[in-house]
Structure 1
């Protein structure tokens, strides 16, 4: 190993890895749960120790210089070794820290309520569940595992189908009693619809209303599917919701039950992480959980 790497503390390199993968001080800071000035200061210290610039400022954020690219390869090698040593020191048990990126709705309504069972099975493994309206990028190693609604087509990634899931139109009985039940899709235009903010949709798979009737516009809009579900449960209108969210709420009923939208969740990890025990353990557990909940996810019998 080069002398300059031996002299560096591993935690200093983690700051560099974070900004190399996210491309911005702010995103790296959120990833590491520190402030952006700390990230910038630690990277400047690395540059001083190496006597070379590692990053350069561009219009959209930070990009790696030639020296930065060389250091990234070595730092990622050290990261893999550190992970292997940690797991070996645990006596063959699954140990360390696992970061999982998942959509807000699936993370909150499906993964989180079941995660206690996984944690109990692997007590030496710490888990970060990043459940948000966007996704961390496994190609940049922002996450160990990602559960995505769009299958990635590029990057050093291993992708497998996790499960299909169904979505439908839902409203409360009270809303339908007050406003009437639509008899067909064309009647939806006369109702208060709830959906995504068009310019904040991060994946084309989320354009549900267009799939029912092109050009159908929601009056109440949110970038959050959890907020949309709460609006629907409060009787504000009709929304397209995943079965795994809507069917667990007794106040919600299906509208136009013949209209079902199908989507797929993909389990994705970096190719270098495919054999990591913590990744294999989570992937196997997630596959088993979704298989056991097929009726809830898809409406199909087990």
Structure 2
């Protein structure tokens, strides 16, 4: 049975936001009206497109099939508009990124601001949480992680390596004297993660250095960086964060140099989603370049 583009546009919004309230903000309709439009589309197609629950609107198998076709129609519509108006293909709608707070604080703000500038119709949400995101529950459209997951229906794309070093503020070093060896760190206050809140083994930097006792701890790497900046002690800092922490300097660089990687994690069902795939490519490239730029300034 035929359906028009406006119906598909509303369907796409609900499918992507998985809620009437979120979709309503994108298409500028109140949730009740949008709900009636979705129900009308389901009646016209004689299929159930969504499973409704307190958690939101989840696509049925029929809904997933329509999503694929609707996205093709959306691409064709955008291309036709661009061909007529001479405008470049623009990303639109809302995309939510889950990220550990290191990348969320020091990389994503400027990267996403630039992407949003290139795509004015795009709404980007950054959810900064010190834990692994559950994409199966659709907590986010994609997530940045510091290790590649080995289970789940997920796709993994390496974004970039990044580097970390021990660091301290100039004021701390002036007050406590130069630090000449890893062994001597036991005589200093250590800043680091709260041990029982380390959500990924890749973040357990201090254990590898034999430094289990943390005098100033936080589950946030951003908070740790500011503790170090305030003269709280010595800790591990991302090289890309150093330009944002004036007065903090690397120490023992010949003895301690850590390398980790960022990965972009997506749900396997989103592989055919042209919009998310294009955004993922833009985001990965921009993050890779930003890491290189900031590490060069460290």
TM more than 0.5: yes
Counterpart Cα distance in 2 of 1:54 and 1:276:
22
Residues 123-163 of structure 1 deviation map (CA, whole Å, 9 limit, x = unaligned): 22221111221243223332222111110112222211110
Q: 1:257 to 1:289 in 2, by over 3 A?
A: same
Counterpart Cα distance in 1 of 2:72 and 2:126:
22
List runs of 5+ in structure 2 lacking aligned partners.
2-9, 22-34, 36-47, 82-88
Residue aligned with 1:245, SS: helix
Partners of 1:161 and 1:264 within 8 A in 2: yes
Partners of 2:169 and 2:228 within 8 A in 1: yes
List runs of 5+ in structure 1 lacking aligned partners.
2-8, 19-28, 30-41, 43-49, 56-61, 63-67
State the match for 1:124 in structure 2. 121
Residue aligned with 2:137, SS: coil
Counterpart Cα distance in 1 of 2:125 and 2:77:
21
State the match for 2:265 in structure 1. 268
Counterpart Cα distance in 1 of 2:69 and 2:140:
17
Q: 1:76 to 1:220 in 2, by over 3 A?
A: farther
State the match for 1:240 in structure 2. 236
**TM-score normalised over the length of structure 2:** 0.72
- 2:170 counterpart (169, 173, 177): 173
Residue aligned with 1:184, SS: coil
- Counterparts of 1:72-111 in structure 2, within 5 Å, are 73=61, 76=64, 90=78, 91=81, 93-111=90-108
The CA deviation at 1:270 is 1.4
The CA deviation at 1:291 is 3.7
Counterpart Cα distance in 2 of 1:293 and 1:114:
7
- 1:222 counterpart (218, 223, 232): 218
Residues 27-60 of structure 1 deviation map (CA, whole Å, 9 limit, x = unaligned): xx9xxxxxxxxxxxx9xxxxxxx9xx998xxxxx
The CA deviation at 1:281 is 2.6
Residue aligned with 1:155, SS: coil
Alignment pair present for 1:185 and 2:182: yes
Counterpart Cα distance in 2 of 1:298 and 1:112:
17
Counterpart Cα distance in 1 of 2:252 and 2:152:
40
Counterpart Cα distance in 2 of 1:162 and 1:89:
31
Residues 221-279 of structure 1 deviation map (CA, whole Å, 9 limit, x = unaligned): 11111111111111111111111112442310111112111111111111221242332
- Counterparts of 1:7-26 in structure 2, within 5 Å, are none
RMSD over aligned CA atoms reads 3.8
Residue aligned with 2:184, SS: helix
Q: 1:233 to 1:77 in 2, by over 3 A?
A: farther
Partners of 1:166 and 1:299 within 8 A in 2: no
